[in-house]
Amino acid sequence: MAKDYYDTLGIQRGTSQEEIKKAYKKLAKKYHPDISKEENAEQKFKDVQHAYSVLSDDAKRRNYDQFGEQAERFGGQGGFQGFGGEGFDFSDIFEQFGFGNQGFSDIFGGGRRGPRRGEDIIFKLSLNFEDAAFGTKKEITVDRIEECDNCHGSGARPGTKIITCDVCHGSGVEKQLRRTFLGTIATQSTCRKCRGLGESVDDPCPVCSGSGREHKKKKISITIPAGIDSGNHLRLRDQGNEGEKGAIKGDLIAVIFVEPHEVFKRDGFDIFMELPISFSEAALGDDIEVPTLKGKAKLKVPSGTQSGTLFKMKEKGIQKLQRKDFGDQYVRVVVKTPEKMSKKMKELLEKLQEEEETAKNRKGIFGKLKGIFD
Ligand SMILES: [Zn+2]
Ligand SMILES: [Zn+2]
């Protein structure tokens, strides 16, 4: 599904939720597999449902606007169990997106099922090359929704009572008969007033207006493991926004961007660099000092090395993520022709020129092009 979700629903970016819902209802009717005569109705219906499931959810929509479909890989709640006991998530695998029947219950006007889980907070974390290679600790400040200090999340003014919900009489469930385009059906949905809790607040907390939640700035320390790369993400469980009363918290997800390095280029866990060497070093061979991530190391350049030759320095690359072994460092030597020369150098090179057979070798080339040069 590489399609743009806005295109799928035939709407513009920035469209209101009401318009999104309208567009969705229209298309869901048009493509509903039970009634549609359109070609590929089932697939189109699924596409529409999926686009709607993302765009109708403010948090998912924001993530989609910012990160595109990629955002959904962060969206699921399943998956990974712990990393080094800190609950990190390295799964680059797309988490299966459940189509569920949430879209449907919306057509039928049913309520949501239970209190809503806290939203994930997704943010971009830029790291310099070395921090990504070696790992580090980063402190970040997030603006997130937390439990209200004043009412400790109850939503009630301190000292006042929490009462039984007068809509569902404490059951948390609303029963309704609904007329839909598929006929009349009885639905049972979560109570919209109390969201399934069975109780409501008589006198709301003045700080959070009864939501039990408030915005706070929070400093969070993140451990960056060695070897992390652009496109990886770190998931800190339960460090996202507080959910509705009775629901679990969202996660904090750092999407990693590694800044380029002046000398090294990275490819996975291998690193590449270009090393200028002199003509005499290339011709005679030498042990040449090379910068690596862990300081200087010697590279043996054999005599007669041509410019552009690639050398591999084993295990001098970046530590592999969650492993003990390292990538390699590749060094491409580039023979530099001297531009500024001392008098002595010039004399030596002139002597060299007299010795060299290169002029003769070029005659060989000219020989092959006889028709052009005579
Ligand atoms: Zn409060
Ligand atoms: Zn209720």
344: phi then psi, degrees, rounded to nearest 5: -65, -45
Return the closest-CA partner of residue 245 out of 148, 105, 167.
148
Q: Which ligand is nearest to the CA of 210?
A: 1
Residues 360 and 372: their CA atoms lie apart, in Å, by 18
Helical axes 41-55 vs 58-67, angle rounded to 10° = 100
133: phi then psi, degrees, rounded to nearest 5: -70, -40
Distance 150 CA to ligand 1 centre (A): 5
Q: Which ligand is nearest to the CA of 172?
A: 2
- pLDDT, residue 232, reads 92
Distance 161 CA to ligand 1 centre (A): 13
Q: Which two tokens stand for residue 209?
A: 């207006």
pLDDT, mean over the chain: 82
Element housing 358 (H / E): helix 358-368
Residues 273 and 308: their CA atoms lie apart, in Å, by 11
Q: Which ligand is nearest to the CA of 189?
A: 2
Residue with more model confidence, 262 or 54: 262
Return the closest-CA partner of residue 130 out of 275, 273, 312, 260.
260
Q: Predicted confidence band at 270 (pLDDT cuts at 50, 70, 90)?
A: very high
Distance 198 CA to ligand 2 centre (A): 5
Residue 69: CB partners within 8 Å, gap ≥ 6?
1, 2
Calculate what percentage of the chain has a pLDDT beyond 70. Answer: 84
Q: List, in sequence order, every beta strand (DSSP E) within the chain.
A: 121-127, 136-147, 162-164, 173-180, 183-190, 199-201, 213-224, 233-236, 252-258, 265-267, 270-278, 286-292, 295-301, 310-313, 329-336
Q: Predicted confidence band at 259 (pLDDT cuts at 50, 70, 90)?
A: very high
Angle, vertex CA 237, rays to CA 117 and CA 98, nearest 5: 50
Q: Which two tokens stand for residue 251?
A: 């996660």
Q: List, in sequence order, every beta strand (DSSP E) within 128-212.
A: 136-147, 162-164, 173-180, 183-190, 199-201
Q: Which two tokens stand for residue 148?
A: 């209200």
Residue 353: CB partners within 8 Å, gap ≥ 6?
none
Q: Which ligand is nearest to the CA of 203?
A: 1
Q: What residues sit around ligand 1, an ion, with C-beta below 5 angstroms?
A: 148, 150-151, 205, 207-208
Q: Which ligand is nearest to the CA of 175?
A: 2
Highest mean pLDDT: which of 11-20, 21-30, 262-271?
262-271
Distance 245 CA to ligand 1 centre (A): 11
Q: Which ligand is nearest to the CA of 196?
A: 2
Q: Flag the least confident range among 39-43, 97-101, 212-216, 316-320.
A: 97-101
pLDDT tens digit string along 98-116? 233 333 333 333 444 567 8
pLDDT tens digit string along 289-305? 999 999 999 999 999 99
Distance 145 CA to ligand 1 centre (A): 12
Q: Which two tokens stand for residue 25?
A: 């209802």
The residue-averaged pLDDT of 26-39 equals: 83
Q: Which ligand is nearest to the CA of 194?
A: 2
Residues 192 and 109: their CA atoms lie apart, in Å, by 11
Taking the chain, what is the end-to-end CA distance rounded to the nearest angstrom? 65
Return the closest-CA partner of residue 29 out of 176, 179, 177, 180.
180
Contact 281, 265 (CB under 8 A): no
Q: Which ligand is nearest to the CA of 214?
A: 1
Distance 96 CA to ligand 1 centre (A): 36
Residue 57: CB partners within 8 Å, gap ≥ 6?
none
Distance 120 CA to ligand 1 centre (A): 21
Distance 200 CA to ligand 2 centre (A): 7
Q: Which two tokens stand for residue 346?
A: 């010039």
- pLDDT, residue 84, reads 30
pLDDT tens digit string along 151-192? 998 889 998 888 888 888 888 888 878 777 777 877 788 888
Calculate what percentage of the chain has a pLDDT beyond 90. Answer: 48
Distance 49 CA to ligand 2 centre (A): 28
Distance 143 CA to ligand 2 centre (A): 31
Q: Predicted confidence band at 78 (pLDDT cuts at 50, 70, 90)?
A: very low
Residue 200 has pLDDT above 70, yes or no: yes
Distance 170 CA to ligand 1 centre (A): 22
Q: Which ligand is nearest to the CA of 157?
A: 1
Distance 185 CA to ligand 2 centre (A): 21
Residue 81 has pLDDT above 50, yes or no: no
Task: Give the domains, in start order, of the chain with CATH numbers.
Answer: 1-110 (1.10.287.110), 265-368 (2.60.260.20)
Return the closest-CA partner of residue 269 out of 311, 226, 332.
226
Residues 214 and 154: their CA atoms lie apart, in Å, by 12
Cβ atoms within 10 Å, residue 176: 13
